[in-house]
């Protein structure tokens, strides 16, 4: 087989991976399952897909189609060849505005399709919580819907036509067919003809019709995905004379890639939703109250009715990003988190929404339902939807090995049955000593129910099966669907005979054999599945060692932190969706370069490695290589997976086994080496200002020859500051601000003189100091060492700990809330807030925690003083200026860009626009390194470089990060300024002095 696979790899225009790394990364999805595939194919063309089909037929293996890999029922887990079409099959092929349809390839991202449609006033309705990375092919496979299914239904209702490759490699187009043309299809002597003939025989059989009508889920349940949709085909003409034209798309939607490979998908699109989106957030005291309130809410024809339970809200309170989105939450009288029902009353005008909301609130209050009813619009409503969509990821934050497990999370019943169904459901859990999370689609009769289970234990495995069996029986009692939108896969396939009866199940097996005689398409899903408690990620009684880590991981260990990644794939969003995570994936579109891939590999090796040092694996090193340590995942991943922290931890232990590379040692010693070079800055600059010498020097240390190097200033900031302080307090260098421009007396500021500002960006530091002094502050640079950022970035954690310990000892009794530590370079000052508390020696942890709370970026400090009215716009020019602000990654992850925008907007006519960029691509030393230079520039080209190039010269480019400013200069030739420089230059007195000096010169 290996020889045959090698031969196949040579035939494909795309890629075929046989290595352990790629196979491991594709062994899981977002479900509880894990199975090593035979290989991973990344096809480039339809010809590749045909070659793969031929290979599977010849060599008795299987193909597992995959897009974003966010399946929750194990749909894309198997032992065949995983066929990932997400990278190359991602084009919008054709669009017809008048007829309202669009034709796409299966790898088109749902939200990106809607970005394309928006200028035309159209929209693809079904919306999964993963819509910024979910792809149309996967949505068809699972028949996905989402929060707005009460209006738009599921993908099936919008699927008009597909082009597909059948199991023999032949092409077929499935679309609506008039009854008279079905006979022509039945007469074809091809596999397509056989499919039509056998389906006709099934649906024309009166006994089959009776059985389907009797045993499939209630037709009143909009979300019904149990097994193959024979009931949907039966509703078509000629089998139901008044029904719509026959269309196999009804069957293909929800078939999970088990029948054919899709190459093109034609979708119906609809007008965009009404302009005014108003969300009523009904605060309830219990799940039962919220479900009864749902029936009231549905009378008002909402666009969505979504549930967010108290467990999710509690987890949101521990997540930096989602805490901001929970601003509207009001706890109950006894200080508990509420159950919130989010009701979308979108209408054409705000007045209509307000009228409906008031009427609904009055009815609910009269019935004794709910206690708080905030109505939110605009950006506030977007925050609520972001919180709701983060629910799945937030559940990964539960500490320890107990997790909210996807096992019975997709049940759907008639919405009128929902209160009774959930009451029975919770009784079953209570009887078994279990509890559950409740969230999502109350308005559609589908609450995502996730019991808390520890799958690493034998008891957890028993509970996993037991609860699946008991809830399957309960769902059948209500004639519900075991799968509403997440599919059957290998999780629910075992229970389909119970759900639809043995005769209907045999019809499904017959259908599968007809479409796929040799079983090459995603076998073991929907029908003939292995037992649902086999091939789980975690083995019963799984034992892992105690890890002796350098970082602390509060309430967990390093493995459990990696396991917080539940595979939901938030890291697969592209630059079009905004945010920072994950810059390398945005550039390469390779699964290997996602945060999920890195977490998966860590979990795999730390769990299964036979080595004493379980970090000592090239596979981990391989997937970590393009991690920029941008920290985007720390805030944007709903599960708070801090991959930068995990990468640094890995590197330290990997070095323990393999030694520290010379380049890593040089980078980590940046501060010491810069100190030596600063003794003769002219010599250093002479080398790095001369292109030929610079290129030669870069090659010696492993940097890319085309990368420019930051030059040294003629002095250091500390030397300049000491000289200035010694010359009568520096007063002769200062202009005077009129007392009227200061609203409070001078204050003390402790400035952290980071290593980057001290040696390279001295002018930035000088202007920051002078700005503060001009505004009436006394600046002191206290005794401290370098930040340790360089050591942290290269994984030299024990060295970084020594630096952190020294700084905490020096500063813990100096810095306070009244006199915070203010830093110019975000990556340096935020080290105090981010890494120090979990890095310093145990005896200094408490002091480091206190220091973290009062370590502020320059922008945060300025915003604080502006809010306190100690700094006003009176000191600054009124000349109009436009600025484009690019934020530093760690600033966005650990702090915020709001203070920077507030600071830069202080002068009355200064306008600040945020550049919607993620990481600039430099990321400390990453962008300098020879093997990373190209990807670094690719990342810059995603959003940042094009945006900067489009700006006229008079527009100021603002960037707080030193590496960001350097990257902008190398990538665009434009000079970006630190906010401190911009505000200093905006001072009235400074401008007047500069103008006077210019007049005298001329």
Region 815-825 average pLDDT: 96
Q: What's the start-to-end Cα distance of the chain, in Å? A: 82
Summarised one tens digit per residue, pLDDT across range 596-638 is 999 999 999 999 999 999 999 999 999 999 999 999 999 898 8
**Encoded tokens for 674:** 């810069």
Please list, residue by residue across 919-949, b when 16 or more beta carbons sit within 10 angstroms of its beta carbon and e when fewer do: bbbbbbbbbbbbebbebbbbbbebbbbebbe
CA atoms within 13 A on the CB side of 908: 8
SS3 478: coil
Instruction: Please answer whether residues 256 and 315 qualify as being in contact, where contact means their C-beta atoms are separated by less than 8 angstroms.
Output: no
Summarised one tens digit per residue, pLDDT across range 361-386 is 999 999 999 999 999 999 999 899 88
Region 582-590 average pLDDT: 97
Summarised one tens digit per residue, pLDDT across range 181-190 is 999 999 999 9
Summarised one tens digit per residue, pLDDT across range 929-980 is 999 999 999 999 999 999 999 999 999 999 999 999 999 999 999 999 999 9
- How would residue 995 be classed by pLDDT, with cut points 50, 70 and 90? low
Instruction: Please answer whether residues 725 and 676 qualify as being in contact, where contact means their C-beta atoms are separated by less than 8 angstroms.
Output: no
Q: In this predicted structure, what is the pLDDT of residue 947?
A: 98
Q: In this predicted structure, what is the pLDDT of residue 640?
A: 87
Please name every residue paired with 82 in a beta bridge, in sequence order, or none if there are none.
40, 64
Instruction: Please answer whether residues 377 and 274 qualify as being in contact, where contact means their C-beta atoms are separated by less than 8 angstroms.
Output: no
> Is 163's pLDDT higher than 90?
yes
- Please give the mean pLDDT across all residues of the chain: 94
Nearest Cα residue to 638 out of 395, 871, 457: 395
Region 798-827 average pLDDT: 97
| Residue 401: CB atoms within 10 Å | 18
What percentage of the chain reaches a pLDDT higher than 90? Answer: 88
> Is 329's pLDDT higher than 70?
yes
- For 88, 510, 591, the CA distances from 76, given in Å and listed in that order, are 18, 22, 14
> Is 321's pLDDT higher than 90?
no
- How would residue 994 be classed by pLDDT, with cut points 50, 70 and 90? low
> Is 546's pLDDT higher than 60?
yes
Region 298-326 average pLDDT: 90
- How would residue 544 be classed by pLDDT, with cut points 50, 70 and 90? confident
Q: Look-up: residue for tokens 């995502």?
A: 448
Q: In this predicted structure, what is the pLDDT of residue 67?
A: 97
Q: In this predicted structure, what is the pLDDT of residue 728?
A: 52
Q: In this predicted structure, what is the pLDDT of residue 1000?
A: 39
> Is 732's pLDDT higher than 80?
no
∠ CA 172-177-183, rounded to 5°: 85
Helical residues (DSSP H) of 92-221, grouped into ranges: 110-117, 136-142, 149-152, 179-186, 191-204, 206-215
Displacement of CA 932 from its chain's centroid (Å): 23
Summarised one tens digit per residue, pLDDT across range 339-368 is 999 999 999 999 999 999 999 999 999 999
> Cis before residue 238, ω within 30 degrees of 0?
yes
Region 292-319 average pLDDT: 93
| 686: enclosing H helix or E strand | helix 681-688
Q: In this predicted structure, what is the pLDDT of residue 746?
A: 53
**Encoded tokens for 450:** 């996730």
Q: In this predicted structure, what is the pLDDT of residue 392?
A: 65
**Encoded tokens for 856:** 């502020």
The C-alpha atoms of residue 158 and residue 766 are separated, in whole angstroms, by 61
Give Cβ neighbours of residue 691 (< 8 Å, ≥ 6 apart).
Answer: none
Instruction: Please answer whether residues 402 and 433 qualify as being in contact, where contact means their C-beta atoms are separated by less than 8 angstroms.
Output: no
345 φ, ψ to 5°?
A: -105, 45
SS (H, E, C) 131-152: CCCCEHHHHHHHCCCCCCHHHH
Burial of 249 (0-12, 13-18, 19+ CB in 10 A): buried
- How would residue 1001 be classed by pLDDT, with cut points 50, 70 and 90? very low
């Amino acid at each position: 087989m290996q020889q045959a696979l090698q031969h196949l790899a040579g035939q494909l225009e795309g890629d075929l991976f046989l290595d352990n790394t790629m196979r491991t990364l594709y062994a899981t999805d977002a479900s509880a399952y894990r199975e090593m595939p035979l290989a991973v194919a990344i096809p480039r063309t339809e010809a590749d897909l045909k070659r793969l089909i031929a290979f599977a037929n010849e060599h008795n293996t299987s193909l597992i189609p995959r897009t974003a890999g966010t399946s929750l029922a194990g749909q894309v887990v198997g032992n065949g060849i995983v066929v990932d079409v997400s990278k190359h099959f991602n084009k919008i092929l054709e669009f017809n505005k008048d007829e309202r349809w669009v034709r796409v390839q299966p790898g088109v991202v749902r939200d990106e399709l809607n970005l394309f449609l928006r200028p035309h006033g159209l929209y693809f309705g079904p919306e999964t919580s993963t819509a910024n990375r979910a792809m149309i092919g996967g949505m068809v496979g699972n028949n996905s819907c989402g929060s707005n299914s009460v209006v738009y239904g599921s993908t099936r209702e919008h699927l008009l036509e597909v082009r597909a490759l059948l199991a023999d490699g032949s092409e077929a187009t499935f679309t609506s067919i008039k009854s008279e043309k079905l006979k022509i299809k039945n007469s074809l002597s091809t596999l397509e003809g056989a499919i039509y003939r056998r389906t006709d025989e099934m649906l024309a059989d009166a006994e089959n019709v009776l059985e389907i009508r009797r045993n499939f889920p209630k037709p009143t349940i909009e979300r019904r995905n149990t097994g193959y949709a024979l009931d949907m085909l039966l509703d078509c003409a000629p089998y139901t004379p008044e029904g719509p034209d026959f269309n196999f798309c009804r069957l293909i939607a929800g078939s999970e890639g088990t029948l054919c490979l899709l190459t093109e998908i034609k979708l119906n699109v609809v007008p965009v939703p009404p302009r005014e989106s108003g969300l009523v957030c009904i605060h309830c005291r219990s799940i039962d109250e919220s479900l009864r309130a749902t029936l009231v809410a549905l009378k008002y024809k909402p666009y969505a009715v979504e549930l967010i339970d108290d467990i999710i809200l509690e987890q949101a309170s521990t997540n930096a990003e989602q805490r901001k989105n929970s601003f509207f939450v009001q706890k109950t009288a006894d200080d508990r988190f509420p159950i919130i029902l989010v009701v979308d009353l979108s209408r054409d005008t705000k007045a209509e929404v307000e009228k409906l909301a008031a009427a609904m609130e009055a009815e609910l209050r009269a019935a004794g339902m709910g206690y708080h009813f905030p109505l939110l619009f605009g950006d506030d409503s977007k925050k609520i939807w972001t919180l709701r969509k983060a629910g799945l990821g937030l559940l990964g934050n539960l500490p320890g090995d107990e997790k909210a497990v996807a096992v019975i999370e997709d049940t759907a019943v008639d919405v009128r049955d929902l209160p009774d169904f959930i009451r029975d459901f919770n009784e079953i859990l209570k009887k078994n000593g279990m509890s559950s999370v409740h969230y999502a689609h109350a308005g559609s009769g589908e609450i995502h129910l996730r019991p808390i289970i520890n799958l690493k234990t034998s008891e957890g495995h028993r509970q996993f099966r037991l609860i699946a069996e008991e809830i399957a029986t309960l769902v059948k009692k209500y004639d519900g669907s075991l799968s509403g939108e997440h599919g059957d896969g290998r999780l629910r396939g075992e229970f389909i005979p119970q759900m639809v009866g043995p005769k209907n199940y045999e019809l499904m097996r017959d259908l599968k054999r007809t479409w796929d005689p040799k079983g090459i398409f995603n076998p073991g899903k929907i029908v003939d599945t292995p037992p649902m408690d086999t091939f789980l990620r975690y083995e019963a009684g799984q034992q892992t060692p105690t890890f002796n880590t350098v970082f602390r991981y509060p309430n967990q260990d390093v493995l459990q932190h990696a396991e917080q990644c539940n595979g939901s794939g938030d890291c697969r969003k592209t630059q079009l969706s905004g945010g920072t995570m994950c810059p390398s994936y945005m550039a390469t579109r390779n699964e290997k370069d996602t945060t999920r891939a890195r977490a998966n590999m860590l979990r795999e090796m730390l769990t299964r490695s036979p080595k004493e040092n379980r970090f000592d694996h090239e596979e981990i090193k391989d997937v970590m290589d393009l991690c920029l340590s941008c920290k985007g995942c720390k805030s944007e991943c709903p599960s708070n997976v801090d991959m930068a922290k995990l990468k640094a931890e890995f590197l330290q232990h990997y070095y323990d086994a393999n030694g520290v590379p010379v380049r890593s040692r040089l980078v980590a010693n940046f501060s010491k080496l810069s100190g030596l070079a600063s003794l003769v800055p002219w010599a250093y600059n002479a080398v790095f200002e001369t292109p030929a010498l610079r290129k030669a020097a870069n090659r010696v240390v492993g940097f890319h020859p085309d990368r420019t190097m930051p030059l040294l200033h003629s002095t250091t900031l500390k030397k300049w500051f000491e000289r200035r302080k010694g010359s009568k307090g520096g007063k002769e260098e200062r202009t005077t601000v009129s007392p009227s421009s200061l609203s409070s007396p001078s204050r003390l500021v402790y400035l952290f003189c980071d290593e980057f500002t001290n040696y390279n960006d001295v002018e930035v530091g000088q202007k920051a100091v002078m700005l503060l002094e001009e505004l009436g502050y006394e600046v002191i640079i206290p005794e401290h060492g370098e930040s340790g950022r360089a050591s942290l970035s290269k994984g030299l954690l024990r060295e970084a700990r020594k630096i952190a310990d020294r700084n905490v000892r020096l500063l813990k009794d100096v810095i306070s809330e009244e006199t915070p530590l203010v830093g110019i370079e975000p990556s340096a000052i935020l080290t105090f807030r981010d890494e120090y508390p979990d890095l310093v020696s145990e005896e200094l942890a408490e002091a480091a925690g206190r220091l973290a709370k009062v370590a502020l970026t320059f922008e945060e400090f300025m915003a604080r003083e502006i809010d306190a009215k100690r700094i006003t716009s009176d000191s600054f020019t009124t000349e109009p200026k436009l600025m484009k602000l690019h934020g530093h990654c760690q600033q966005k992850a650990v702090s915020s860009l709001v203070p920077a925008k507030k600071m830069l907007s202080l002068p009355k006519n200064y306008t600040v626009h945020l550049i919607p960029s993620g990481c600039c691509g430099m990321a400390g030393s990453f962008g300098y390194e020879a093997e990373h230079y190209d990807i670094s520039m690719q990342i810059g080209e995603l959003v940042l470089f094009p945006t900067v190039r489009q700006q006229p010269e008079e527009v100021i480019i603002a960037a707080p990060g030193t590496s960001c400013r350097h990257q902008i200069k190398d990538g665009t030739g434009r000079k970006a300024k630190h906010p401190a420089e911009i505000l200093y230059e905006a001072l009235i007195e400074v401008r007047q002095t500069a103008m006077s000096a210019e007049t005298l010169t001329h």
